[in-house]
Structure formats: structure tokens, C-alpha cells
Amino acid sequence: MTMEIASARTAVAKPPAPGLISRRVLGNVALGLVLLAVPFWLPLVGGYTDLASRVLIYALAAMGLNLLLGFTGGLSFGHAAYFGLGAYGVGLMLKYETHSILLALLVGTLVGGIAATLLGPIAVRRRGIYFAMITIAIGQMFYFLAVRWNSLTGGEDGLTGFSRHPIKLPGLTVPMGSVGFFYLVLVCFGACALLLWTVLNSPLGHTFVGIRENYKRLIFLGVRTKRYLAISFAISGFVVALAGGLNALLDNFTSPNTLNYTLSGDFLIIAVLGGMRNFWGPLAGAVIFILVRDYVSSITDNWMTVIGLIFVLSVLFFPLGILGFFNRKSAS
Amino acid sequence: MSFLVLDSVGRRFGALRALSDISLSVESGELRAIIGPNGAGKTTLFNLISGFFPPTEGNITFEGAPITAVNPTELVHRGIIRTFQITEIFLSLTVYENLRIAVETAMGLNLRPWISRAQRAAVAERIAELAAIVRIESKLHRVAGELSHGDQRVVEIGIVLAKSPKLLLLDEPTAGMGDEETRHMTDLIRRLNKEQHITMLFVEHDMAIVFGIADRITVLDNGKMLAEGNAAEIAANPRVQSAYLGDAGLGNAA
Amino acid sequence: MGLILLFNAFNGLIQGAFYALMALGLALILGLNNTINFAQGAFMALAAYFAFTLVPYTGFWGALIAAPLLAGVIGFAVETVLVRRLYSRKDPIYTLLLTFGLALIIQDMIRTIWGAQGKPLAIPGFLNHPLSNTYFFLTGYRLFVVAVALIGTGALFAVLRFTRIGIRIRAGNADLETISALGVNIYLLRTANFIIGIVFAGVAGILAAGQLGLNPTMGDALIMPAFVAIVVGGVGSLVGSLLGGLIIGLASGITTAFFPAASEVVIYVIMGIMLVVRPRGLLGQEGLFE
């Protein structure tokens, strides 16, 4: 009980803090500056820009998922499906239809997002554990579709034969090398963060949180809770699909693994590890998860055991996630 | 035409008869107590009226319209709202946020992914109004889960009031409360009835409260109606007395 | 065509028997331990590898008994050391992620100990022969799988119906608080239940390995259909899970005859239809306000 309370404090807007600029605004500005400067400072500490793009893409996916998971209380174990649909949408568009990666991203996001919009209402027919089982099963359907529909998707070998082209705007061509692409990812990340932030601070977002907290009370206030679960499902689906599209661009490749439930598990642990009741929790989780995985897989073949241990240990010892953990410390 | 009418209503769960042949009518503006020993069917009665589950026999009408098999969401829109024996609020949110969800719902804003300055102000004003009615202003920015049991119940009443109920069902509003909290709650119930003109049904074990504030009292025993009347009639009713004899007497019937 | 259809239907039923065994183990643990055991597939593979190691010493029959029990011992350790700590957390995400992580660890261990390459599991020679020349597909092993599935299921239902622990497990499924108040040690009960679920997975794993061979991720292919079987059959009903497993196995088998590429996807379509038409599944209970 105390755990939930401590964690929720960070998730909700408090009465405005005294002073001209609140600490929250300052913190967000600082975060933005750090992210903007990544291509300059990351190489100095031994990182590479593509790794930062990967972190942001996974953070974006986990943030999208977290709207449903952490703020609406819907435990989806199948969001990789929308990630993968976004990825295949982008890959197929670039391979067959267009050289514009922006158009491809738009189409990929729509494909994944619309799938989530159509399937959400089916999944929300049950709650709790069963909701999780249904979402995972729906997700696996797409996985097997991608594996079997060889002629379109390339089957288990994955989809190749597309690449990032520079973005041509009127009077301006943006090269899509590692750094250029990083800024594209950052723009997408920032726009989605702003969108999610706006939603969470609106009556719609308040309704989502109400469903997480007590759906019975909401039903007896006359709210059709399933409709709102489905809306949250859809919004999170669009965000996750965009992340998937970016991921396909980062790799110039996508495979059925981007649809598989194991990737859904990665997104979930990123949200939980960072703190799922915290707006920036998924970003913190993605930084840790991607860096650890990148490092460990370079030094041992048994990296799966290490990833498994991250799951086990964070569930046992950091149920509030890293940010939740520190928030509680500073609160007490 | 009475406000709320139950006509030979009954509910079975498999072989178990939880309620049978309940006929009662409640007038607009009435404050009605439902009493009876444990297992008498009081909460089942509330569940039937609020649409938690439908009756297996009989009919219910509200403001002249049949509501027998209407779902709870629709009943809320018609003005029937309830509280639960176990307080149902948003525990990890502040009192303010609890009320905000209710107010925004009542104002039909749930679907809005943004909110105008004017609407935000209207919401805040209504929250302040509700907080004043239930007298929780001083704790508005406390997390609900950290409040005392009594205060949590008060928050729940604030939440349901946001929807401007015509008929309010309170399931054991004072259960588990201390003297001071009970007095506050009793006073609140009376004020809501007299000042806000809300028709109320409440289940209560504390006979002092029941006899103190209820206009009329319905007594259930073993799933059946035992008696109905005002305080004096019920107190004098020999069947009611014998039903309660197994317990520790009238004053302590819980 | 008729023969091919029959062949595929029969094949599907055998596949359904695997799904049903898996689904039963999962449903048991889902019911009383309130846990989606993602590691069920990994335990299944683990038991099969135990059997692979035991066969030279104990023979196939000894391994069929001993290996699931060994997996049960690991299950016992996992439940008492890890899973048990999470029962008090209401949010199901924690057990889900815990068992998901466990699955990764167990798979990786198997890979490290036995290698990533697939291996065959030796089965007694007489089970390998076709029973007749006309019905060439009817090998003894396929009948054997069906028989073991029947015996296992029968034994489970007998235990649940007639033994003290079984009756308590069923009562606990209905109302854990009440039987706890009646003085039943629910910790012990949940541990026992978890072990039974794992042993079931173990048996299914060995049977599957006898037909398809061993590899570290062999459980992955069966755990998803088992989920679907539970959803289709109705959450909270063991008989439902059993039926669900057989139905999706049969559907998948028949689809193979007409449109092989859709044989996996079809079970998810069935689930989707079920959710639209009857959200609680074939035999599931109706949850209030789900």
C-alpha cells in the first residue's frame, strides 16, 4: 500500500510549486539540453550515436506502452506487435513505394496504430491477467503472419533491401547519417513526449488514471471504462508503432523478432525498471537496459542469463523502478 | 407516482434465495434506513437497485420508468448513485484529484485530451464547492490512501455528489468509524437530505443513528421484509424485537 | 483427400493433446498461484533434457517418470525462493516479468549445458512402427502420446476430486481467503500446486521431444497455443482448458490440410472470434464488471 502511494505521487500533477519556474520545468529543460547534445558528448565517454538512437527508440516504445501500463493499468504483453507492424510498414514502403522516410514513417505509424485501434476493443473485454494473455496471443498472430507470409515479409530471414535516404525539405536536405538520424529520432521522441504529457494532464488522462486506480468506482460514476481502456490502447499503439518504424530505419532491416512477445517483455521491463508510475521512468529504464545489454553481449555468450537476472532482480528489489526508488528516498 | 418502487422483487443465487418478495416505495426527498441482522439481504437489495446485478423476480421503477435490467452506467446517468461497504475511491491520488475525476466525469469531459482555461476554472470551482459541502477542504492535497477510514468515506461521498444524484444509496456509511467521525457523517447525511434535497437509502447498524435521522425504516430479515414504518412504529414492533433478540439487543444490533 | 483430412485431423488432435497438457499445467498455476507462468515452456524443455540425460541409465520409461519429477524439484525451489515473494503484490505484472526472466535464464542454462544444437530423444523401438500399412500415419508413438495425455489428465482430475490436497486446491481456486481462515496452510498448498503444474509441463515436454526432438526453445512453440487454449476454454475452468487445447489442435490440424501457411494463425483467429462472441470462453465463469 505505502508503495503504491509513494509511487503515485510522482505520477500526478501537484498543485503548482511556488516560485517563477518550477523544478519540474527546469528538470525537463535540462533533460532536453542533455539529449540535444548527445552527439557531442557521447563519443567522449566511449559511446556511439547509433546506441543513443536505440536507447531513445526503446524509450519511446516503452513510454507509449506505459500510457496503457503505468497510467491506465492495462498490462499488455503484446505491444511488440504494433512496434513490428510499424517497422514492416516503413520497410515495405521504402522498398517498394517511396524514397521519403517521413512518408514511410507516417504510413508505418498508421499501420501499427490502426491495428491497435481495431484490436484494443477485443482485448479490453477482459481485465488483469487475462487481458495480458489475450494481448500476447493477438501479438503472436502477427508474428506468425510475418514468419509465414514469405513473399511479402521475407519470412524468418527478415525484410531487407531498403535504406535511409536524406530528408528533402524545400530548400534544405537533411543527411541521414548517424547524427542526422539521431536528431530525427529525438524530434519524434520529443513530439510524442509532449503529446503524452498533454494527454496525461487532460480530463482524458485523469480518466485513464482513474481506471488504473479503481475501475469499479468509475463504472459507478457512469464511465464506460472499456471505451477508455481501448482509447489508451490505441494511443499507445500509435506511439509504439512510430518507435518500430524508427527502429527499422536505424537497422535498415526488420525481422519477425520485432513482432515477438519477447520484445514486448523487453518494453515492459524497461518501463518497470525505470518506474512505470513515473513519466520519465521508461527513458531511465531504456538507458540502463540497452547499455547493459550492449555491454554484456559484447563480453559473454550468456548474456541472456544476465538479461533474465535483470528481470528477476528488478521485480524483487525495484518494484517501483529506479526513479520511483529515488523519489521515495527523497520523500522520506 | 412514487419516486422509487420495488414490486415483489427477489434474487436467487442458484439454490440460495438471497431476497424474496420485497415490495417497497420511497418518496422523493425521503431519508430511508434499511436495517436488519447480518445476512438479511440489505446489500443485495442495494445491488439490485444500483444495477450491480438484476433481480431474478419482480420489477423496479424509478421516476415512473422501469429500471429492472438497466446496467449500472445507465442508472448513474438517470441519477442513481451508490457507495460501497468497502470504500471505493482512488487511493493513490490526492483528495483533489479524486474529486477532479468525478467532477470532470460529471461535466462530461472524459473524452477531452485537452482542456480550456475556462473549463479548468469551472472544474476547480466545483471541486471547492464539493469539498466545502463534505468539509474536507483542509485535506484536499493529501493522498487519499493516507487518510483515516472516516475521511476516506467522506471523500467517497464527495465523489458521488459530483454527479448530482437524485437517489443516493449509502451502504453502511458509518461502519468502523469513531464517535467524532460518526457524528460528522450523520450530520453530513442529514444535510445532504435537507439542504441538497437528495433522496437517500442507507444501510446502517447503529440504531441510534437510524432512529435519529431516518424518515422511515425498512426492516429486512432472512431475505424478507419484516416491517416498515417510522421510528416509533419500528421500535414498538414485536416482530422486529424478536428478530433482533438473537443479537445483543436493539442498540447493538451489528 | 478423405485420408489426408483424417490424417491431419488426427495429427491435430495429438497436437491438441500437447496443448491440453500444457494448458492444464498453466491453468493450475494460474488458478491457485495467480501467476501466468511464462517459464512453463522452459520447464518443459528442461524436463526433456533431463530425460535425454537419464535415458542411458534409466531407459525411456524410467526417464518419463523421473525427469518430470526432477523438473518439479526445480519448480519447488523457484516457487519457494522467488514466486512466493510476489503473491502479496496485487499487480500481476511482477510475477509475469519474474517468470519471463526465469524462462530466459533456464533457456540459456540449457544452451550452456547441452548445447544449442537440436538432439533426438531415443524412444523405444516398438513405438516407432506404423500400426498398419493402410493407415501409415498411425504410429505407436502417436497413440502412446494420446494414452499418456489421457492417463495424466485422468490422474489429475482424480487427485482433484478424491484426495484431500486436491479438494483443497479446488476450494482454494474458488475462495482462497476462506480456506485460509479454515486453517489450511495456503503457502504449502500453493507450493504443491505449482509443483504439480510443473510436472505436467515436464511430461508434455518429454512426449514432445520424443516426436520432434530436443532444442532449448522447444517450449516456445507450445506455450502460446496453451495460452490460447485457456482463453478459448474459459479462464478458471480446467475442463475448459482441456477442451480448448483439443479444439485449437484439431482446428490447426484441419487447416494444415487446406492452407498450411495459416495453421498457426488459425488458433488466434479462433480466440478472437471467441472473445467477440463469448468473452468468458467455453466454460469460464462470468466475472463481474470485467
Q: How far is A308 from chain C (nearest CA, A)?
A: 4
- Is the confidence at residue C1, as pLDDT, over 80? no
Of B84, B92, B105, the CB nearest to A4: B92
Q: In what order do the strands lie in the sheet with B80-82?
A: B80-82, B167-171, B199-203, B31-35, B216-221, B224-229
Q: What is the predicted pLDDT for the residue at B185?
A: 93
- One domain, residues B194 and B230: yes
Contact C79/C32 with Cβ under 8 angstroms? no
Q: What is the predicted pLDDT for the residue at A328?
A: 57
A205–B90 C-beta distance less than 8 A: no
- Exposed e or buried b for every residue in A283-310, given b needs 16+ CB within 10 A? bbbbbbbbeebeebeeeeebbbbbbbeb
- Weakest-pLDDT range from B1-15, B94-108, B159-173: B1-15
**B121–A contact, CB cutoff 8 A:** no
- One domain, residues B188 and B223: yes
Assess: ipTM above 0.85.
yes
| Separation of alpha carbons C142 and C145, rounded Å | 5
**B160–A contact, CB cutoff 8 A:** yes
Percent of all residues in chain C with a pLDDT value above 70, rounded to a whole number: 95
- One domain, residues B130 and B231: no
Which three cell numbers, joined as nine digits, stand for A215?
A: 475501475
Mutation for testing the C interface, residue in A125, A133, A277 having most C CBs under 10 Å: A133
**A75–C contact, CB cutoff 8 A:** yes
Q: How far is C103 from chain A (nearest CA, A)?
A: 8
- One domain, residues B118 and B244: no
A219–C289 C-beta distance less than 8 A: yes
Q: Tell me, what CATH number does B48's domain have?
A: 3.40.50.300
Mean pLDDT (chain A, rounded): 89
- One domain, residues B93 and B133: yes
| Separation of alpha carbons B115 and A173, rounded Å | 38
Q: What is the predicted pLDDT for the residue at C132?
A: 66
Last residue of a domain, one of B120, B138, B164: B164
- One domain, residues B176 and B249: yes
Tally of CA atoms within 13 A in the half-sphere of A56 that contains its CB: 29
Q: Which residue has the cell 436495517?
A: B35
| Separation of alpha carbons C229 and C248, rounded Å | 7
**Ranges of each domain in chain C:** 22-217
Chain-centroid distance of CA B124 in Å reads 25
- Residue B115 counted as domain residue: yes
Q: What confidence tier does A9 reach under pLDDT thresholds 50, 70, 90?
A: very low
Per residue in A147-156, pLDDT tens?
989 899 988 8
- One domain, residues B108 and B153: yes
- One domain, residues B197 and B254: yes
Q: What is the predicted pLDDT for the residue at A121?
A: 94
A213–B92 C-beta distance less than 8 A: yes
Q: Closest residue of C to A75, CA-based?
A: C93
Percent of all residues in chain B with a pLDDT value above 90, rounded to a whole number: 67
Q: What is the predicted pLDDT for the residue at A330?
A: 52
Q: What confidence tier does B1 reach under pLDDT thresholds 50, 70, 90?
A: low
Chain B residues near residue A234 by CB distance under 8 angstroms: none
Q: How far is C164 from chain A (nearest CA, A)?
A: 28
Last residue of a domain, one of B136, B164, B192: B164
C96–A132 C-beta distance less than 8 A: yes
Last residue of a domain, one of B115, B145, B164: B164
Q: What is the predicted pLDDT for the residue at C286?
A: 62
**Ranges of each domain in chain A:** 46-260
Per residue in B13-57, pLDDT tens?
877 888 999 999 999 999 999 998 888 889 899 999 998 888 999
Of A123, A302, A309, the CB nearest to C112: A302
- Residue B17 counted as domain residue: no
Q: Closest residue of A to B116, CA-based?
A: A202
- Residue B19 counted as domain residue: no
- One domain, residues B147 and B198: no
| Separation of alpha carbons C116 and C118, rounded Å | 7
Task: Find residue A254's DSSP bridge partners.
Answer: A159
- Residue B95 counted as domain residue: yes
Q: How far is A221 from chain B (nearest CA, A)?
A: 6
In what helix (H) or strand (E) does residue B12 lie, and over which residues does it extend? strand B4-13
**A134–C contact, CB cutoff 8 A:** yes
- Weakest-pLDDT range from A164-173, B93-102, B143-152: A164-173
**Length of chain B measured in residues:** 254
Chain A residues near residue B163 by CB distance under 8 angstroms: 221-222
Q: Can you give the residue range of the structural domain that contains B100? A: 87-164
**Distance (Å) of CA C84 to CA C78, C89, C102, C189:** 9, 10, 14, 12
Q: How far is A243 from chain C (nearest CA, A)?
A: 22
Chain A residues near residue B145 by CB distance under 8 angstroms: 1, 4-5
Which three cell numbers, joined as nine digits, stand for B81?
A: 448513485
The mean pLDDT value for C96-111 works out to 94
| Total domains in the fold of chain B | 2
Per residue in B118-137, pLDDT tens?
999 999 999 999 999 999 99
Q: What is the predicted pLDDT for the residue at A56?
A: 97
Chain A residues near residue C112 by CB distance under 8 angstroms: 301-302
- Weakest-pLDDT range from A59-68, A235-244, B22-31, C232-241: C232-241
- One domain, residues B241 and B115: no
Q: What confidence tier does B95 reach under pLDDT thresholds 50, 70, 90?
A: very high
Q: Report pTM.
A: 0.90
- One domain, residues B154 and B204: no
Contact B165/B198 with Cβ under 8 angstroms? yes
Chain A residues near residue C287 by CB distance under 8 angstroms: 126-127
Q: Closest residue of A to B91, CA-based?
A: A213
